[in-house]
Chains A and B, each alone.
Chain A
Amino acid sequence: MPDATFLDTTELVLNMGPQHPSTHGVLRVILKLDGEKVMGTECVIGYLHRGVEKIGENRTYQQFAPYVDRMDYVAAVSNGLGYCLAVEKLLNIEAPARAQVTRIILTELNRIASHLLWLGTHALDIGAITPVFYCFREREEVLKIFENYCGARLTTHAFRIGGLQYELYDGFEEQVKAFCDMFLPKVDEYEELLTNNRIWVARLKGVGILSGDECKEFGVTGPVLRAAGVKWDLRRAQPYSGYEQYDFEIPTGENGDTYDRYMVRMQEMRQSVRIIRQAVDKIPTGPIGKTPKVIKPATGEVYVSIEAPKGELGYFVVSDNSTQPYRVRVRPPSFVNLQALDRMVRGGLVADVVAIIGTLDIVLGEVDR
């Protein structure tokens, strides 16, 4: 038997997380390493499990609405919209036109806020410190709009079943328009910082490639799927809340690598601004909808999915003709997208694991629920 040389390595098992700052929460990844090379991974989740779905079985339909905000706390408005749409479909009611347009404005603002947080933290993981400050500066403007509208910044509870609780405040349109005008040059600024930067390109190009077919196999949705060249966006594929009335493009990538996912999300922010501008100009007058005092849907089940910033967010609600849901099941985009992590990091380097977790844009509150 030949002696082992210094080049030979044995497999090393390394825990990354749950307190590692670039796992974006409490994700634990067990890495099997051969030197710097990743031979395999295993995700351990559940550190942030709060049993939200079980809580839903013990609350009335109205009472459960604030809890869904706490799953994907970065995009609380989108979560609220998905839940409200699911229960509305169960009740066979529809929100009035004014409420629908307002919902679209707020969810698209939330998409921008979510992508900004992603961009800032992702750049921070890669080693670019500056963008996070600029991103949070602009995100603050979005959060101010939320605060003015519904009184909370992060876990908003902005929508109610059947419409809205709060009427638009004076100056809402102006504030949103001012934000749009201010924001587009800022996106160019972020791109100026990052897009051509040689370190950024070297760290992202060709890293964590996931082809379109693999995405479909894993059920991956959202920007990760679109970066692989699949033009699938639920706002277009099965429009909800009146998205068919707006003119916007679905940005796609070609290679399905981390750089493409970055470009897709940057384009999505621009498209969101485009939707917001169209929506603000045509907020109809009229009622904003009223929550039914008692919500007691007929026996049945319903699945409604929306395009959340991170992918397809689905709510499966089963009713047994009582005031409380029999079962609420959430299909969170982060949880499904996280499955693809192993495929993406296998054969790569340890440093790329950080980039790939960042590019998946997971929120552990949603993964564990």
Chain B
Amino acid sequence: MGKFFRTIFLVDLFQGLWVTFRNQNPKYIYTEQYPAERPEVAERYRGAPRLNINPDNGETLCIACNLCALACPETLIVVGSERNEQTRRKELTTFTYDLSRCMFCGLCEDACPVDALELTQDFELASYTRDGAIWDRQMLEEGPKPTQYKC
């Protein structure tokens, strides 16, 4: 009898519809209104790479040790260095980071002994050309400048 009742009156379907109805409440809206509303990514987010500079004198923190290039599984980092004859130290000249092949695994960041290379919270990395994904030292130090949309 119970089964008959449930079949005739579509109890199972109404049960499901009641769940859908309960979730109609506007306070359950989870959609992020990107790009009008920028999402807050986590502190540890692994996004665009950055080559940190010393904020006091603007010099790079990188000591051109080449460890990041060795750690990278895709060997997409190329570090160019030059020996300074006066201080007898290696100095960074160029730094190229090919973002088109990067998988943001964070191994370069882990390998860096002086926290110069860092994966930041910037996540808007699209560019119009393939060459735009290959970042040079200047780009890495300044960081991307994503478009800010007004709503």
Q: Could you say which of B41, B42, B104 has the most chain A C-beta atoms within 10 Å of its C-beta?
A: B42
Binding site for A on B (CB under 8 A): 7, 12-13, 15-16, 18-20, 23, 30, 41-46, 71-73, 103-107, 110, 119
Determine, out of A56-64, A96-104, A335-343, the stretch whose residues face the partner at the interface: A56-64
Inter-chain CA distance A148–B30, complex, in Å, is 18
B19 adjacent to A151 (CB under 8 Å): no
B44 adjacent to A150 (CB under 8 Å): yes
Q: A63-B73, A148-B44, A165-B110 are in contact. List 6 more A-B contacts (CB 8 A).
A: A63-B71, A144-B42, A147-B42, A169-B44, A192-B18, A197-B16
Given A140-B30, A165-B110, A193-B19, also A66-B103 (CB < 8 A): yes
Chain B residue numbers with a CB within 8 Å of A92 are none
A155 adjacent to B103 (CB under 8 Å): yes
For residue A24, CB closer than 8 A to chain B, the reply is: no
Binding site for B on A (CB under 8 A): 59, 62-67, 70, 130, 134, 137, 140, 144, 147-152, 155, 157, 165-166, 169, 189, 192-194, 196-198
Minimum CB distance partner of A188 in chain B: B19
B42 adjacent to A148 (CB under 8 Å): yes
Chain A residue numbers with a CB within 8 Å of B18 are 192
A196 adjacent to B12 (CB under 8 Å): yes
- Chain B nearest CB: distance from A44 CB in Å? 28
A197 adjacent to B13 (CB under 8 Å): yes
CB < 8 Å neighbour of A197 from B12, B30, B45, B110: B12
Given A151-B42, A151-B44, also A192-B107 (CB < 8 A): no
Can you list 20 pairs linking A and B with CB atoms under 8 Å apart?
A62-B107, A130-B16, A130-B20, A147-B41, A147-B42, A147-B45, A150-B46, A151-B106, A151-B119, A152-B106, A155-B103, A166-B44, A192-B15, A192-B16, A192-B18, A192-B19, A193-B19, A193-B20, A196-B12, A198-B13
Inter-chain CA distance A140–B39, complex, in Å, is 13
Chain B residue numbers with a CB within 8 Å of A157 are 105-106
- Chain A nearest CB: distance from B6 CB in Å? 8
Chain A residue numbers with a CB within 8 Å of B12 are 196-198
Chain A residue numbers with a CB within 8 Å of B45 are 147, 151-152
Chain B residue numbers with a CB within 8 Å of A130 are 16, 19-20
A66 adjacent to B107 (CB under 8 Å): yes
CB < 8 Å neighbour of A149 from B23, B44, B72, B110: B44
Chain B residue numbers with a CB within 8 Å of A150 are 44, 46, 106
Minimum CB distance partner of B121 in chain A: A151
Inter-chain CA distance A196–B72, complex, in Å, is 52
Minimum CB distance partner of A195 in chain B: B12
B44 adjacent to A66 (CB under 8 Å): no
Chain B residue numbers with a CB within 8 Å of A151 are 42, 44-46, 106, 119
Chain B residue numbers with a CB within 8 Å of A65 are 105
Inter-chain CA distance A169–B13, complex, in Å, is 44
A152 adjacent to B73 (CB under 8 Å): no
- Chain A nearest CB: distance from B115 CB in Å? 15
Minimum CB distance partner of A130 in chain B: B20
- Chain A nearest CB: distance from B2 CB in Å? 13
- Chain B nearest CB: distance from A65 CB in Å? 8
Inter-chain CA distance A363–B13, complex, in Å, is 31
B30 adjacent to A152 (CB under 8 Å): no
Chain B residue numbers with a CB within 8 Å of A70 are 103
Inter-chain CA distance A226–B20, complex, in Å, is 31
- Chain A nearest CB: distance from B107 CB in Å? 7
Chain A residue numbers with a CB within 8 Å of B107 are 62-63, 66
Chain A residue numbers with a CB within 8 Å of B43 are 148, 169
- Chain B nearest CB: distance from A296 CB in Å? 15
Chain A residue numbers with a CB within 8 Å of B71 are 62-63
CB < 8 Å neighbour of B19 from A149, A165, A189: A189
Given A64-B73, A67-B73, A165-B110, also A152-B104 (CB < 8 A): yes
- Chain B nearest CB: distance from A179 CB in Å? 14
**Smallest CB-CB A-B distances: 4 pairs:** A66-B105, A151-B44, A63-B73, A151-B46
Inter-chain CA distance A194–B17, complex, in Å, is 11
Chain B residue numbers with a CB within 8 Å of A134 are 23
Chain B residue numbers with a CB within 8 Å of A140 are 30
- Chain A nearest CB: distance from B41 CB in Å? 7
Minimum CB distance partner of B23 in chain A: A134
Minimum CB distance partner of B12 in chain A: A196
- Chain B nearest CB: distance from A79 CB in Å? 13
Chain A residue numbers with a CB within 8 Å of B41 are 147
Inter-chain CA distance A64–B106, complex, in Å, is 13
Chain A residue numbers with a CB within 8 Å of B7 are 198
Inter-chain CA distance A67–B72, complex, in Å, is 12
Inter-chain CA distance A193–B41, complex, in Å, is 33
